[in-house]
Structure 1
Amino acid sequence: MNESEEKKEVKKTNRRRKKTPEVKKSINHWKVAFLVLIGFLIGSIVFVFIRVTQVREPNYKPIPELVEKEGTPVIAIQSNKKQVNALIDFYLEDFQKGSEITYKFYLENEAMLNGTFEVLGHPIQFYLYFDPYVMDNGNVQLKAKSLSVGTLGLPIKEILKFVQRDYKLPSWVEVNPDDSTVLLRLDQFRMQNGLFIRAEKINLVDDDIRMNIYLPKDSTDKKEGSN
């Protein structure tokens, strides 16, 4: 092979090299977007869990001792859900004046607490359902049975912790997240002139609610002494 032929061969080799396409690494944009979305969802779930379960200076009220009140029943009240709901609405509307976080409590075939909490700046509504039980001492225990809170799978215990921590509750309402109950301490409820209430029966299915109003023992003793 002479010199001219060698030059021709080199030129052909160089042309082949130029025509060979360079292999570039392609980026799968759909895969990246999917991973970013998964990361956002996981981060959101973690944020919601931390927000609901975090403890920020819990305002746990000391639980007063049970007061066994003695007295004489003077008025027996037989009511229904509609009448009791109207009374609860009136009481809570006045009690929650000026409060940033409000809630509703009412009776249907079960007792229901309806409220909201914020997730990523958006209010999330929840419904917590209870079965009410009249206790021997005249107080009422609400046993949480189910929870509806959109698509978030939060346990009842955590919602009750949120209610206990962030909601303005009457002093005679005792929230117990560990056993999923709310106790209405009627023995701590004060009425004018010392009158007090004891629950006698709560049957929501048959719409039969009964309570007795009592005069305190001191009042009855004074009346008997004045005769």
Structure 2
Amino acid sequence: MTNEPNEKNEKTEMKQPSRKKQQTSKDKTPINRWKVAFLLLIAAIIGSSAFVFMRITQVREPNFKPVPELVEADGTPVIAVQSTKKQVNALIDFYLSDFQKGSDITYKFYLENEAMLNGTFEVLGFPIQFYLYFDPYVMDNGNIQLKAKSLSIGTLSLPIKEILKFVQRDYKLPSWVEVNPDDSTILLRLDQFRMQNGLFIRAEKINLVDDDIRMNVYLPKDKEATTTNSEGETN
């Protein structure tokens, strides 16, 4: 008679550990789910950051437009033009407004005490505005080199080289504008630019601080010869 209660107690004691195991396993399940969700969130953040970095730094084959033949360097300067920054900015704004018609991505270029390129690019669907500042230099051949010196882009920290790669890849630029990200320059190839009437221009002086910009307008050799002949016939 005395042994029966002991046997029941032993059976109940044997069953108790299994209940504890079931309870602990149930308690652990929510913790594991939270861990998985947290790891997935971290993976998504890392993946998005990697995608943005690759999108910004990726170098695609630029969609170069056919470059016209070099303009004949020889000719006669027929007009010497001395302008101010305000006058040049009005001309640039008129040219770019017409040139960028129908383009999804637009930009501005204007002169202050420095030359400035203002545009935007997207990060995760949000437009980010940047200001890229240049020092302009007149080259011996009459072209203009813009040397990038500083970049303003809000709280982001990106090298000038990567912004120039973006400009080269995604912006609609005239065929006579060369972007060189490796040396942080933009070259305005005036020797590849010709007006509709055949005239071409060469830069002579650019002094933005003193507001002194000078260029010469040239008459190409073939036009010069035609003009001389017509004058000789009339005389």
TM > 0.5 fold call = yes
Distance 1:163 1:19 in 2: 67
Task: Give the total of aligned pairs.
Answer: 227
Match of 1:144 in 2: 148
Distance 1:166 1:152 in 2: 20
What is the identity, as a one-letter code, of the residue corresponding to 2:157?
G
Match of 1:82 in 2: 86
Correspondences of 1:28-177 after superposition (within 5 Å) = 35-61=39-65, 67=71, 69-177=73-181
**SS in structure 2 opposite 1:193?**
coil
Kindly tell me: are residues 46 and 206 of structure 1, through their superposed partners in 2, closer, same or farther at Cα, counting changes over 3 Å? same
Shift of 1:189: 1.4
TM-score w.r.t. length of structure 1: 0.81
TM-score w.r.t. length of structure 2: 0.78
Structure 1 residues without counterparts, runs of 5 or longer: none
Contact 2:81 2:214 in 1 (8 A): yes
**SS in structure 2 opposite 1:100?**
coil
2:200 pairs with one of 188, 192, 196: 196
**SS in structure 1 opposite 2:173?**
coil
Q: Alpha-carbon deviations, 1:65-100, whole Å to 9, x = none? A: 755612232322222211111110000001111222
Kindly tell me: are residues 220 and 40 of structure 1, through their superposed partners in 2, closer, same or farther at Cα, counting changes over 3 Å? same
Structure 2 residues without counterparts, runs of 5 or longer: none
Match of 1:186 in 2: 190
Contact 1:60 1:164 in 2 (8 A): no
**SS in structure 1 opposite 2:146?**
strand
Kindly tell me: are residues 97 and 18 of structure 1, through their superposed partners in 2, closer, same or farther at Cα, counting changes over 3 Å? closer
Distance 1:12 1:175 in 2: 84
More helix by share: 2
Shift of 1:28: 8.0
RMSD across aligned positions (CA): 3.2
Q: Which 10-residue stretch deviates more, 63-72 or 103-112?
A: 63-72
Contact 2:67 2:175 in 1 (8 A): no
Contact 2:67 2:192 in 1 (8 A): no
Match of 1:3 in 2: 3
Match of 1:211 in 2: 215
Kindly tell me: are residues 126 and 35 of structure 1, through their superposed partners in 2, closer, same or farther at Cα, counting changes over 3 Å? farther
What is the identity, as a one-letter code, of the residue corresponding to 1:77?
V
* Percent pairwise identity: 77
Distance 1:68 1:88 in 2: 24
Kindly tell me: are residues 44 and 223 of structure 1, through their superposed partners in 2, closer, same or farther at Cα, counting changes over 3 Å? same
